[in-house]
Structure 1
Amino acid sequence: MPQRLKQEVRERIVAAAAAIFADQGYAIAKLSDVAERAETSTSNIYKYFANKEALFDEIVTPALAGQLLKLLRTRIRELGQLDSWTSADAAGSDHARALLSFWVEHRHVTLVLLRGAEGTRFTHFRDLIAREMERLAADYISRTRGEQALSPELAFVLHKLFVRTVDMLADILTEYDKPAAIQQAFAHFWRYQLAGLQALLTLQSAPQPGPPISSTTSRAPD
């Protein structure tokens, strides 16, 4: 007689795997760790899932990855239609609130996509997110200020800024698991980031670097 599988056990395995993949990353996560967290045996996991990859595919789906990317694009594009970007936080923007709600509801999935997908079909998703933010910012500058405004130096700063933005998103979701704490942390981050982005992207002329600085090391006065 075929063994009867229990939905409650399956759900425990999926929840445990999501947490382990988010904490450790897919590449180094072990099914034995999943089993321990789910309070079952490794052999029992194989009754529900063929292997670690099948378990991962149950948790991190193309639909969720696509939804996250769509929400992020919509949120960034909204900024170009606002006079004051500092109001575009979760309290003042439906798009920001929708993105934040996704991060809260799918915290483990988001963490895997941002820093734990090595060895899966989503390996490059983290870089894709950073590049997409960079591309949308560059498009906004070119559209509003002309292509000449996107200097090599500004392009470099934007690239590094958005790479580190991805790090900050993941750091917040790693540090906090309660919705209220996540919301408060992003409120602080967005207050800082949105003001800086608006100043950087909407500046009508390049900032003046000041007088030339000699590459010769200055000697302190005697």
Structure 2
Amino acid sequence: MAQVLKEEVRNRILEAAEKVFYKRDYRGAKLTEIAKEADIPVALIYTYFKNKEVLFDAVVSSVYINFESAFDEEESLEKGSASERFDEVGENYIHELLKERKKLIILMDKSSGTKHTEAKQKLISQMQVHIEVSLKRQSKQEYDPMLAHILASNFTEGLLEIARHYQSEKWAKDMLKLIARCYYKGVESL
């Protein structure tokens, strides 16, 4: 029984912290506000989390994913165009990520002052390498690496815009399909 209560309190703290970090960001969030949101004394937070940074890590840990594994899986597919490989692997991976969109936004937009400050740049860098691999696979022409960087930045920001303005799962899937189509085939494909 005590273990269930401990888990319930820990979950309340995490849920409250997610709300506060989403609203304020890491630097603006106060443990007193998180405790108030969780309806617990501030001292109880320290029973579960050493400090605010450890609490922040716990909130974002489920979305602090390594995109490289998804990119590797997509690149390992021997057949299909880049867009077909994305449809088979990447799209599902992104939909899973969007299920925790608030945590994704906290990690990417609200982590200044933590060890995760560079999370968005890390994602862009990983995506840039993935795009460079795809360009080499699809085309005999060599491109300036800045092209892959710009595409990676734009796709990452598009994904974050879907997360920021999320309306429903269907809306997100439809929007992702449109962005991917534009990304792979150009605006004229619409």
Q: How far off its partner does 1:13 sit?
A: 0.6
| Residue 122 (structure 1) aligns with | 116
What are the within-5 Å matches in structure 2 for residues 49-68 of structure 1? 49-61=49-61, 64-66=63-65, 68=66
- Paired residues for 1:11-30 under 5 Å: 11-30=11-30
> Which residue in 1 is equivalent to 2:183?
197
Q: Can you give the 5+ residue segments of structure 1 that lack an aligned partner in the other structure?
A: 201-222
- Indicate whether 1:172 and 2:162 are aligned: yes
Distance of aligned partners of 1:85 and 1:130 in 2 relative to their CA distance in 1, 3 Å threshold:
same
State how 1:52-131 maps to structure 2 within 5 Å: 52-61=52-61, 64-66=63-65, 68-70=66-68, 72-74=70-72, 77=75, 81-83=79-81, 85=83, 88-89=86-87, 93-104=88-99, 106-131=100-125
Q: Deviations over 1:86-135 (max 9, x none)?
A: 7954xxx354223312330x333322222222222222121011111112
Q: Secondary structure at the match of 1:82?
A: coil
* Aligned CA distance change for structure 1 residues 108 and 71 (closer, same or farther; 3 Å): farther
In the alignment, the residues of structure 1 paired with residue 95 and residue 115 of structure 2 have an alpha-carbon distance, to the nearest angstrom, of: 24
The AA in structure 2 aligned to 1:56 is F
1:21/1:112 contact within 8 Å kept = yes
- 1:206 maps to which residue? none
Q: Is the 8 A contact 1:75 1:99 kept in 2?
A: no
Identity %: 24
Task: State the distance in 1 between where 2:98 and 2:86 align.
Answer: 17
Structure 1: distance between partners of 2:98 and 2:156: 13
Which has the greater radius of gyration? 1
2-side partners of 1:126 and 1:81: how far apart? 30
Residues 161 and 140 from structure 1, CA distance in 2 versus in 1: closer, same or farther, beyond 3 angstroms?
Answer: closer
> Does the C-alpha gap of structure 1 residues 6 and 22 become closer, same or farther in structure 2, counting only changes over 3 Å?
same
Contact 1:130 1:166 in 2 (8 A): yes
Gapped regions of structure 2 (runs ≥ 5)? none
Indicate if the aligned counterparts of 1:18 and 1:59 stay in contact, CA closer than 8 A.
yes
* Greater helix content: 2
1:184-203 per-residue CA deviation (whole Å, 9 max, x = no partner) reads 22422332x32333337xxx
